[in-house]
């Protein structure tokens, strides 16, 4: 559409801009994005709606999270900033299902119900819809060029113009060499993972080690000051972080910062945007922690760590996937919807298998290794099935709602069994979705 640097609009929020050298972007899965523009007034914006309406009168999240409350607020703010309702042009996107469609998908139909609320509000306010692409089976990217007021909707997975051709699978020896030369996760991160499972530990000693690592220390402080942490005051030292946040939360931040340093942030391969793999893993970790707190079945710190590490095998396969993207895209778009089977067919191995080998090399606990090895097939877990099912559920929800971060396609046919294993119903699932702070899940 243009080369302007994008400003991403996170789930449960909106952004308004005047004529400027800026592009607003919303990455949409089940969420629905609405772009409104008044060309005459030179003003427009995008709202990224997560759900159709609050489930009760005490919803903890901002009104912009919900179509019923957020869209009227968005329209009114545009009008308060000189837009005229009769001149507004609407572009609507998102609300996807993910193939193969299960009965649970149809029962929930989050995107479909959100779209219905959006269309109803726009009709009642007399706002003309000039472009609409909703539903379907893939995430979408809604963008607004504030220099020209052009809007664009395109799939987050864009197949190459090249037809799928022959691709040489990596050999076992090449995979072995790739694993051997992979930079190790920092030792401080492995120590933190062990501390997160202990009741008694010497945090002061660990903090001193972090202070000596300037790169890790800077990243820790950036995360401490991010919106999702919500610190009461600016944090400019590890000591102050411990005082304001407590050691449990700070340990999570430390392992997150270490993991960020381990991952590649390049676009291509699995990542659909810069830092996509990291943002997805962080989203799964935070979602897993919320689910763990709600269910009380597993330790919250363990759930967070497991969510953060679940996709580590992709680090090894990322290079090979980049070389096979045309073929991979073709199979994802036209295949049976099973992402792991597509990896096995094209690469000869999948990210779960490679991740399990990395976890073994790092001497991770067996329960965390099981999550890495079986998060797409949780029914096969034996050591801690609750933890594996919990991370699988967090992965599904994050892929649904935080679409467009990395190349992923969850087979939701396993979701019904996953919910049953955790003694959850679709009603509980909607409660969990409401508990996760999606509006703060982008950025550091």
State whether residue 51 is helix, strand or coil. Answer: strand
Q: 95 and 176: one domain?
A: no
C-alpha atoms less than 13 angstroms from C-alpha of 283 in its C-beta half-sphere: 28
Do the domain assignments include residue 323?
Answer: yes
Q: 51 and 105: one domain?
A: yes
Domains of the chain: total = 2
Do the domain assignments include residue 291?
Answer: yes
**Domain of 98?**
6-155
Q: 176 and 108: one domain?
A: no
Q: 278 and 396: one domain?
A: yes
Cβ count near 123 (within 10 Å): 11
Q: Alpha helices, DSSP H only, in 263-365?
A: 276-295, 300-309, 313-323, 325-334, 339-347, 351-361
Do the domain assignments include residue 430?
Answer: yes
Q: 74 and 179: one domain?
A: no
Do the domain assignments include residue 245?
Answer: no
Q: 376 and 414: one domain?
A: yes
Q: What tens-digit pLDDT sequence spans the chain (444 residues)?
A: 455 678 889 888 999 999 777 899 998 888 999 999 999 999 999 999 988 988 766 666 788 989 999 999 999 999 999 999 999 999 999 988 765 555 665 567 788 899 999 999 999 999 999 999 888 767 788 999 999 999 999 877 655 444 455 567 888 888 888 887 776 666 666 666 666 566 566 666 666 666 666 667 677 777 777 776 767 778 777 667 766 777 677 777 777 777 776 765 565 666 666 667 888 888 999 999 999 999 999 988 889 889 988 998 888 887 777 666 666 666 666 666 678 888 888 888 999 999 999 888 877 889 999 999 999 999 999 999 999 999 999 999 998 888 766 666 666 678 888 999 999 988 888 889 888 887 666 544
Q: 92 and 66: one domain?
A: yes
pLDDT of residue 246: 73
Q: 178 and 89: one domain?
A: no
Give the Cα separation of 288 and 386 in Å (integer). Answer: 11
Question: Closest Cα to residue 167, out of 340, 321, 339?
Answer: 321
Question: Closest Cα to residue 410, out of 98, 38, 175?
Answer: 98
* CATH number reported for the structural domain that contains residue 426 in this entry: 1.10.3210.10
Q: 293 and 435: one domain?
A: yes
Do the domain assignments include residue 274?
Answer: yes
Do the domain assignments include residue 83?
Answer: yes
Cβ 222 vs Cβ 228: under 8 Å: no
Q: 308 and 176: one domain?
A: yes
* CATH number reported for the structural domain that contains residue 99 in this entry: 3.30.1330.200
């Amino acid at each position: 559409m243009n080369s302007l640097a994008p400003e991403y609009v996170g789930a449960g929020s909106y952004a308004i801009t005047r004529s400027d050298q800026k592009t607003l972007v919303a990455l949409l899965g089940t969420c629905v994005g609405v772009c409104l523009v008044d060309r005459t007034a030179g003003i427009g914006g995008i709202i990224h709606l997560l759900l159709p309406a609050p489930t009760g009168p005490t919803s903890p999240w901002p009104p912009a999270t919900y179509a019923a409350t957020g869209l009227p607020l968005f329209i009114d703010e545009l009008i308060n900033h000189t837009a005229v309702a009769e001149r507004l042009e609407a572009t609507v996107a998102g609300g996807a299902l993910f193939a193969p469609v299960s009965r649970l998908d149809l029962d929930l139909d989050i995107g479909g119900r959100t779209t219905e609320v959006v269309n109803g509000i726009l009709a009642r306010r007399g706002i003309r819809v000039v472009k609409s692409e909703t539903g379907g089976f893939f995430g979408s990217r809604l963008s607004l060029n504030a220099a020209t007021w052009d809007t664009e909707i395109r799939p987050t997975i864009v197949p190459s113009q090249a037809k799928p051709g022959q691709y040489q699978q990596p050999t076992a020896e090449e995979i072995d060499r790739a694993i051997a030369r992979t930079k190790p996760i920092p030792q401080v991160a492995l120590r933190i993972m062990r501390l997160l499972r202990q009741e008694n530990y010497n945090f002061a000693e660990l903090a001193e080690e972090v202070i000596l690592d300037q790169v890790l220390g800077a990243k820790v402080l950036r995360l401490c000051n991010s919106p999702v942490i919500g610190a009461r005051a600016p944090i400019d030292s590890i000591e102050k972080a411990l005082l304001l946040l407590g050691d449990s939360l700070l340990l999570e931040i430390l392992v997150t910062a270490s993991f960020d340093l381990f991952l590649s942030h390049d676009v291509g391969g699995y990542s659909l945007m810069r830092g996509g793999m990291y943002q997805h893993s962080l989203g799964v970790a935070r979602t897993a922690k919320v689910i763990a707190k709600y269910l009380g079945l597993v330790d919250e710190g363990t759930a967070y760590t497991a969510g953060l590490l679940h996709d580590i095998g992709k680090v090894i396969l990322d290079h090979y996937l980049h070389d096979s993207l045309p073929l991979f895209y073709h199979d994802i778009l036209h295949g049976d919807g099973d992402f792991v089977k597509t990896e096995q067919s094209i690469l000869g191995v999948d990210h779960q298998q490679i991740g399990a080998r990395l976890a073994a090399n790092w001497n991770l606990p067996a329960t965390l290794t099981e999550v890495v090895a079986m998060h797409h097939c949780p029914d096969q877990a034996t050591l801690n099935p609750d933890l594996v099912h919990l991370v699988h559920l967090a992965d599904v929800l994050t892929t649904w709602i935080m679409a467009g971060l990395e190349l992923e396609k969850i087979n939701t046919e396993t979701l019904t069994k996953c919910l049953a294993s955790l003694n959850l119903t679709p009603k509980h699932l909607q409660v969990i979705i409401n508990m996760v702070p999606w509006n703060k899940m982008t950025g550091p």
